């Protein structure tokens, strides 16, 4: 009798061990989707835009399902933006291994100086969580601002009378008793700057933000300098693609990703300088004595 009890106990033990394993195996085969292969990708069109805003960036991607052993499979997903905004949750049911196209849009820009350097990605939340790549893009809004009175702060001088003088230990370009430019200890650069003034017949020195101007330029009787001084050191840019942008607390004029002029915290002066560039169609920023220059001019 005692021997029979041991046999019964042994059989029951075996059943308690294998029945749960068998049940779990059946449950896994029927309802676990981690064997399914899901891929997601997303791209921005266009990746870079510079122009009138608001503008629309389109995002196009794919969700691909593979190794689908137990169809159907419903995939739930949404679009996540870099500014924290999420789209509605969408769903699609796959009845076989397949790839579907997904699209979304983002409208950006209301002000003429805005710049956006952002991304969007696709996030799947069911049957399990997966993120696509980040679809990066850049938008530069360069809308024409509302017409405003354009006042200029300029000093007139006579280029035929300008000369280099050594005054109080510093080399200066003067017109009679009027000090125009201070080149410090750099006599050679002062003489080069004087040659440039005479070559273009520059007769107006203009400023944005005096008494400590953040931006300056030279004119020829109200017009931009024209021509090309031999051997001058200039950086070319497209005036139709420059914009004002606040980056790390500093206001700057950019062409794409390239910084042209820095205005620190002076937003109004940055916007005024941008107006100057557009008004005169300046296409080149030229320097004497880079990188630590004391004389700079703009021309077409």
Taking only the tens place, the pLDDT of each residue in 244-298 is 888 778 898 988 778 899 999 888 899 899 889 988 889 999 999 888 888 999 9
Tokens of 181: 């430019």
- Residues 193 and 164: their CA atoms lie apart, in Å, by 9
Domain 37-141 indexed as CATH 2.60.40.3880: yes
The band of 170, judged by pLDDT with boundaries at 50, 70 and 90, is very high
pTM, 2 dp: 0.53
Q: In Å, what is the CA distance from 247 to each residue of 111, 207, 256?
A: 16, 23, 13
- Residues 78 and 80: their CA atoms lie apart, in Å, by 7
- Residues 194 and 170: their CA atoms lie apart, in Å, by 15
Contact 57, 39 (CB under 8 A): no
Q: Would you call 128 helix, strand, or coil by DSSP?
A: coil
User: Does residue 1 surpass a pLDDT of 60?
Assistant: no
- The pLDDT mean for the chain works out to 85
- Residues 236 and 268: their CA atoms lie apart, in Å, by 24
User: Does residue 10 surpass a pLDDT of 90?
Assistant: no
Q: Enumerate the domain spans of the chain.
A: 37-141, 153-299
**Half-sphere exposure (Cβ direction) of 224: Cα atoms closer than 13 Å:** 19
Over residues 219-242, mean pLDDT = 90
């Amino acid at each position: 009798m005692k021997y029979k009890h041991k046999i019964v106990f042994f059989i029951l033990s075996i059943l308690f061990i294998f029945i749960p394993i068998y049940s779990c195996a059946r449950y896994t085969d029927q309802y676990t989707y981690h064997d399914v292969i899901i891929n997601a990708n997303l791209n921005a069109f266009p990746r870079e835009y510079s122009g009138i805003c608001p503008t629309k960036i389109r995002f196009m991607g794919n969700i691909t399902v593979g190794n689908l052993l137990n169809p159907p499979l419903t995939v739930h997903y949404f679009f996540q933006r870099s500014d924290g905004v999420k789209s509605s949750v969408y769903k699609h049911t796959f009845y076989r291994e397949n790839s579907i196209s997904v699209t979304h849009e983002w409208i950006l820009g209301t002000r003429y100086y805005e710049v956006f350097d952002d991304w969007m990605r696709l996030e799947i939340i069911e049957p399990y969580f997966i993120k696509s790549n980040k679809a990066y893009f850049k938008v530069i809004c360069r809308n024409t601002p509302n017409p405003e009175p354009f006042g200029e702060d300029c000093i007139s001088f006579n280029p035929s009378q300008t000369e280099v003088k050594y005054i109080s230990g510093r080399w200066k370009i003067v017109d009679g008793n009027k000090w125009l430019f201070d080149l410090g200890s750099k006599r050679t650069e002062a003489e080069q700057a004087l040659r440039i003034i005479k070559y273009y017949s520059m007769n107006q020195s203009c400023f944005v933000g005096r008494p400590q101007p953040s931006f300056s330029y030279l004119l020829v009787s109200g017009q931009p300098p024209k021509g090309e001084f031999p051997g001058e050191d200039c950086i070319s840019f497209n005036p139709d693609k420059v914009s004002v942008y606040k980056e790390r607390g500093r206001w700057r004029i950019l062409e794409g990703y390239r910084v042209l002029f820095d205005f620190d915290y002076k937003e109004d002066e940055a916007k005024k300088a941008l107006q100057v560039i557009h008004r005169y169609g300046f296409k080149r920023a030229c320097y004497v004595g880079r990188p630590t220059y004391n004389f700079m001019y703009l021309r077409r």
